[in-house]
Structure 1
């Protein structure tokens, strides 16, 4: 009887492709790759210390997910989102992340809230120092920290896919000088809502946060970008 192909040994390149995919996806989500940036697989392979094959596989997977595009020569690049696609993604983020925040308000422990407060403190320190890399990294940790508290793994996977597509565009926030609002940061409102176990206020805080970001980024986008 022939061996069951379902449980055939995993090829080493497949394992490497997963690792490369995770590294590239993290860079997209975190805004460390910028719109228009080309990703030449041979150069990436050299940078990552792997063969070109797993890099090529990881890039094609990200293309299939809508996170990257291919040019006429088959070179992957980070797309420049048109305004309508950016608006759709942000609307979906408002709905899904708002729902997660509302759920988190019913589940967050004092330790959870303290951890989020520490993340937000680092974010604000980065804002005052005008360190865009820190701000982007801590903002990502904060938002996914809230989703983790909500314990909604299916929703989390969908949101991760949205962030993969929009992460490079989020990086445009660091290109615009922004003063800290006298009304305070929406994260402060979210932390208060979590402490008060107020789902409606938690959802409203997330929606305000995302809408304020969209109001800054959308005018920077080309309506006809691709």
Structure 2
């Protein structure tokens, strides 16, 4: 495990989710860390729990003020880092169809508990969207910064309420450049034995464009992303997915 913190960094900034934007949401977005190490490279990292450290033992980890962060990307400036973070937050709100943030908290909790119970009775499965930032990717002839999400269904052995830190503790999701496909790795756990990718989603962070993709379309785009990355057509490559949006599925 590589644990690093560069005390000589020009600056280190912790970005926390805006409380008002996620008020009443059962999904708690992670904190992020931006570190400018040399005036040219800006590292974007995501805070992880202690229970997640073993997953990321092969990744570069940063210790800062008692918290552990995993490096997601090396970006050209703070603006690109914030664009990536905002893309994560936007995906959480869009994909999970967050309720009106002005709703009464008690009413929300009651409705949410009912939602969980109804899905439990219907034997629904848990699904999470795993997000990637595709900076400088060319899609349909347009080079831009895209958010790319893979929705993964967990074949749960027992029902769980939505909680990042439940089933997501035991699954890592990444893109393999050489194999040109999405890789899911499951740790031994009491909750599920297998997972299934059920759909994909792409959106342009610089416009309002977005598109829901079938599994076949998503897999084809992953191959194209890998091709562009290996051809050095993509300036900053991100291969590790972050769990962001929760839902129940059949």
The TM-score, its normalising length taken from structure 2, stands at 0.23
Q: Which structure exhibits the higher relative contact order, with contacts defined as CA atoms closer than 8 Å and separated by 6 or more residues?
A: 1
Between Structure 1 and Structure 2, which shows a larger proportion of helix residues? Answer: 1
Larger radius of gyration, structure 1 or 2?
Answer: 1
